[in-house]
Amino acid sequence: MSRKDTSQVTRIVEQRLGYDFTDKQLLLEALTHKSYYHENKEGAVHHNERLEFLGDSVIGLVVVEYLFRHKASYAESVLAKIKSYIVSEPVFSEIAGLLSLGECILLGKGERSTGGRTKKSILADALEAVMGAVYLDGGFERAREVILGLFGSRIETAITSGQFFDYKTELQERTQMSCGKLPEYRTISQSGEEHQRVFTVGVYLNGELLGISSGRKKKEAETLAAKEALERLQGQR
């Protein structure tokens, strides 16, 4: 890749992040997958694994600090569950996808030919590396701003929807213990256009409706229905 091409790639990422790097080489390193580095050792400075290691810790600290200062004042056990949910490959790869980071990662021929630009692990690692680069380039305060700009709404959504808590597993364990049966999830309805579809799901036990809820994804609707079922069972005690 020419110097012009790499400059264009870094500029695109800077625009999407809302952050301009003083040291462009740091960002370029963060976008360099080891497969590209091994094929271009003369042109590539480093690959992104060290920045990935750093970025994981920086994101983790920012998320934990945000949760610690949250008005809900969660207990340590809940903080740990939310952090575990947010600081994870699925969420990182999702955010990297929203940034279209995959098209900017420098990949070797083998990774490009096998769909590396859409692999969740590569996307998540690149996001971590980019956040590590932001931290080294601009310091912790700027890194916090960028990270919360990307993760803030995701954290709040996880909190309000209860996605961080495994309500489905909790409900399954409770029903197995109380009556030796598993709950059954049924899609009651679907509405809206394909890109704005809303699912309504009910959770049943022995044919009895225990909880019902809606969500943009079926899994989200099932999670919220399980939460409602648990609250109902708790009230029956």
For 48-76, write each residue's pLDDT tens digit: 999 999 999 999 999 999 999 998 888 88
**Selected residue with higher pLDDT from 231 and 187:** 187
- DSSP structural state of residue 185: E
* pTM across the whole model: 0.71
CA 1, distance to chain mean position in Å, is 30
In percent, how much of the chain has pLDDT > 90? 63
* 236 CB-side CA count, 13 A: 8
Residue 3 has a pLDDT of 46
Structure confidence at residue 44 as a pLDDT band (50, 70, 90): low
Q: Going by CATH, does the domain composed of 167-235 fall within 3.40.190.10?
A: no
Cβ density class 155-180: b for 16+ within 10 Å, e for less = beebbebebbbebbeebeebbeeeee
Which of 52, 128, 220, 228 is an active site residue? 128
Cβ density class 216-225: b for 16+ within 10 Å, e for less = eeeebbbbbb
Residue carrying the six token digits 């364990």: 173
Residue carrying the six token digits 């709950």: 183
* 115 CB-side CA count, 13 A: 4
For 78-91, write each residue's pLDDT tens digit: 888 889 889 999 89
23 is annotated as an active-site residue: no
Q: How far apart are CA 127 and CA 89, in angstroms?
A: 10
Neighbours of 60 (CB within 10 A): 15
Q: What is the topology classification, in CATH, of domain 3-161? A: Ribonuclease iii, N-terminal Endonuclease Domain; Chain A (1.10.1520)
Work out the average pLDDT over 24-29: 94
Task: List alpha helices for the chain, DSSP H.
Answer: 3-17, 24-30, 34-39, 49-68, 76-86, 89-98, 109-113, 120-138, 140-161, 167-179, 218-235
For 178-214, write each residue's pLDDT tens digit: 889 999 999 999 988 777 789 999 999 999 999 999 9
Residue 222 has a pLDDT of 92
Q: How far apart are CA 58 and CA 41, in angstroms?
A: 28
Residue 216 has a pLDDT of 83
Lowest mean pLDDT among 34-38, 70-74, 233-237: 233-237
The answer to whether the beta carbons of residues 203 and 185 sit under 8 Å apart is yes
56 is annotated as an active-site residue: yes
Q: Where are the domains of the chain?
A: 3-161, 167-235
Which of 56, 111, 222, 228 is an active site residue? 56
